[in-house]
Amino acid sequence: MQLYNTLSAKEREVLIEKAGKERLTISFYKYAHIGNPEIFRNHMFLAWDALEVLGRIYVAHEGINAQLSVPAENFEAFKTHLDSISFLKDVRLNVAIEQDDKSFLKLKVKVRSKIVADGLNDSTFDVTDKGIHVGAETFNELIDDPDTLLVDMRNHYESEIGHFKNAITPDVDTFRDSLDIIEQELSEFKEDKKLVMYCTGGIRCEKASAYYKHKGFKNVYQLEGGIIDYARQVEAKGLENKFLGKNFVFDHRRGERITEDVIAHCHQCGEPCDTHVNCANEACHLLFIQCDTCGEKMDQCCSKQCQEIHALPEEEQKKLRRGKTVSNKIFKKGRSEALLYKKSPETVVKPIFTSR
């Protein structure tokens, strides 16, 4: 029984190009109580591999979190399979605003302790006891209310390139960092303010909404479907779009444009730019914002040191990396002393939150 990829990413890329068929980039999640995540994982892998689904999927006792790419011609079969699973029947599917046939090049279905790492060890916390979900129209009304606290539940490198007007954007590296920080900073408003949250597709907000209800917040709301579905709704219904800039996404695209506003700056020269790249030095791979001019000047590297290493023959680079832990700065996205413009010059820094 084959429960792993048999093709490399490069081999798969070639096959996709040869096939010339449209693929859809989709994401969905569902909090549920899964008794045996390992068996469930195997079932999903076999079914989706047969449908040529590619992507990154996490399964845990608390549910499933999926970001994937499926051939358009297999979409109905894929949806039929989802509907055959009781807790996934009619689950909301977020279809990407901007499509890319190569958004994912492997099928990875992994069992994790949680589908969203939260750092919480509270057995009395029920993730399915969530806050009130609202659509784009109600969301717009809520965030215009002076009694509303609008909080971005994403990380600093995500909100830097795009966020809602007047949102609180915590200057954090991970979701687990934000939960207690936000609770502490907003604790005096538990009784009388509306706590409204948003994220990319809704999964982080849903867990956060349940957590903040557990912590005593009385009026907790989240944007249904996150930024992805909000963009679709405002266009379909002709609503005012209160989002500014790009929505960061966790696939090869790294972002999809929601509005033409460019609110971020190149981390190397400070010019307006919201294009994320990874440092070309494989021993670094730092995620940062780089404009085309700096990309050409720096050979797509984040620093002179990385540029010098990247210029070496491949075998020399491998020798330098040999025996060392890959210094992939996964938790230091956009944070490096080599980057002179890590945030917009206009950024006002507060003790915990940054307000852009």
Active site residues: 199
Find where tokens 């002393």 sit.
337
Q: Decide the pairing of beta strands 132-134 and 220-223.
A: parallel
DSSP β-bridge partners for residue 71: 23
Beta-sheet strand order (sheet of 162-164): 162-164, 243-248, 255-257
User: Measured between alpha carbons, how far apart are the two ends of the chain, in Å?
Assistant: 52
The four Cα atoms 11, 17, 18, 23 give a dihedral, to 10 degrees, of 110
d(CA 169, CA 245): 14
Closest of 230, 227, 235 to residue 204, by C-alpha: 227
Q: Decide the pairing of beta strands 276-278 and 287-289.
A: antiparallel
Within its chain, how far is the Cα of 338 from the centroid?
25
Q: Which tokens sit at 218?
A: 């009385």
Within its chain, how far is the Cα of 112 from the centroid?
17
Backbone conformation region of residue 198, classed left if phi is above 0, alpha if psi is from -120 to 50, else beta: beta
Contacts of 260 (CB under 8 A, 6+ apart): none
